[in-house]
Chain A
């Protein structure tokens, strides 16, 4: 891809994601579409998030308990698990699962609508495809990813508890009191901001890739793959940038 095409793509992506967000403020509001999308994104991802998060929490707790017991600091397992999950791993893990399940679904559904002339049909009927298709998906991601992250965090902490108490033979009270200690404003705020940004990125990228699909089944496959790959890359990059900004804003020294 040459530079001109790349700049044009970036400009189109920016316009789509901006207009998608702006759709929240302008009539008509496609509330029914947004609720349908939230149901698909939220309820549909609920058990997957719990399952993934539970095992992430267990693996993390296992690693930390093994390492900290060598140093004689096993009692800090809960604290380190808590900080890692709430600030960092929880939002990223939920966002990655959300990308795999919801982002790919958004891209393939919209791509299929483009190739099947359904998007053209909307335009013919005078309906703005961005407002009708993109805004409800952005809304669903902005609402459901933070909620799923919260549920995922809880599942991870529970997984960590299981390992700490039943495998590493630590006190459950100590584990939960360490978790309570780390549930302060800085950590909770740090972990709460990220899912909103990640959700917006996933929905925007996936919708853009879907609406740019061309050329039949192969094109649809390419659009879905690009949506997932680019979303994952952007989540990781954005996570680093956000972490840097949040640490600075919340007064942590590195």
Chain B
């Protein structure tokens, strides 16, 4: 589904990604791990064609998207459902209007049909009660749930992309979001989750890519990650050891 072939990207003089090679199947559950500023979100934006690489090629279902126009990229973007960090809900619209945004843009559904569809989507993500709320009235967890509902309303995606879906959430809400992510991929649809929270990544993913200094430091499964001898990865997964120790206190 997704192939990165020698992709490099920089902001001005600062290299973010350097000669990146990897491929991801549509049914894979991938977590991209790494510290802040390592280019994790950039990878999602490159996949969606929101940014263009300095060099290299990005193939989506065998098609190079790097030279495509904004108009042509629309078809590529419809294959994915992306949830940005903190939800990125439209401030000026309430929850119902946020979720109904694409329905109004692209369908000729009546007001009643839109209402039914929006309620159904919000019920699916567990925030039906927030229908008339404005984004600033929502908690962090509700924000992400509404954003997921909105992304589902858009198109029928082949794959989900999540940018730090649990960051800033308390453990209960983070766990609920993880369950929702797993629930949505139950029918074999894969996802890429970008996060620095290794604990949450282990709950949902079965493949882990670790980025450092713009390069892939590690690419493997859960067991390989947990037993990796790479010192930086050991530091990263030490969060898990603290959690285990805390259980014994």
Contacts and interface: CB of A to CB of B under 8 A. Distances in A.
Given A120-B45, A120-B50, A127 B105 contact: yes
Contact of B105 (A112, A117, A120, A125): A125
Interface in B88-106: 88-92, 101-102, 105-106
Contact of A123 (B70, B85, B86, B91): B70
A126 B77 contact: yes
A118 B70 contact: no
A124 interface: yes
Nearest to A118: B88
Interface residues of B, number: 23
A117 B88 contact: yes
A116 B50 contact: no
B74 interface: yes
A128 B69 CA distance: 12
Nearest to A36: B92
A123 B154 contact: no
Contacts of B70: 123, 128
B50 A125 contact: no
Interface in B7-60: 45, 48, 50
A126 B88 contact: no
A124 B90 contact: no
Contact of B84 (A28, A36, A121, A126): A121
Contact of A125 (B86, B154, B163): B154
A197 B102 CA distance: 34
A28 B74 CA distance: 16
A124 B50 contact: yes
Given A125-B154, A126-B74, A126-B78, A120 B84 contact: yes
B90 A118 contact: yes
A27 to B, nearest CB: 12
Contacts of A116: 86, 88, 91
Contact of A117 (B74, B85, B92): B85
Given A125-B101, A125-B102, A118 B50 contact: no
A120 B102 CA distance: 14
A120 B77 contact: no
Contacts, number: 45
Contacts of A113: 91
Interface in A120-176: 120-121, 123-128
Contacts of A118: 88-91
Contacts of A28: 105
Contacts of B84: 117, 120-121
B234 to A, nearest CB: 31
A113 B88 CA distance: 8
A121 B105 contact: no
A209 B50 CA distance: 19
B211 interface: no
Given A126-B74, A126-B78, A127-B105, A120 B88 contact: yes
Interface string A98-130: 000000000000001100111011011111100
B177 interface: no
Contact of A124 (B77, B85, B106): B77
A118 B150 CA distance: 13
Nearest to A132: B105
B158 to A, nearest CB: 14
Interface string A47-59: 0000000000000
Contacts of B74: 126
A28 B104 CA distance: 12
Contacts of B163: 117
B119 to A, nearest CB: 20
Which interface residue of A123, A124, A126, A127 has the most chain B CB atoms within 10 A? Answer: A124
A118 B85 CA distance: 10
Given A116-B86, A117-B84, A124 B48 contact: yes
26 contacts: A36-B92, A112-B91, A113-B91, A116-B86, A117-B84, A117-B85, A117-B86, A117-B88, A118-B88, A118-B89, A118-B91, A120-B50, A121-B88, A121-B90, A123-B50, A123-B77, A124-B80, A125-B77, A125-B101, A125-B102, A125-B154, A126-B74, A126-B105, A126-B106, A127-B105, A128-B70
What are the 5 closest A-B residue pairs judged by CB atoms, nearest first?
Answer: A117-B84, A117-B88, A126-B74, A121-B88, A118-B88
Given A126-B74, A126-B77, A126-B105, 8 more contacts: A28-B105, A117-B88, A118-B88, A118-B90, A120-B88, A121-B90, A124-B48, A128-B70
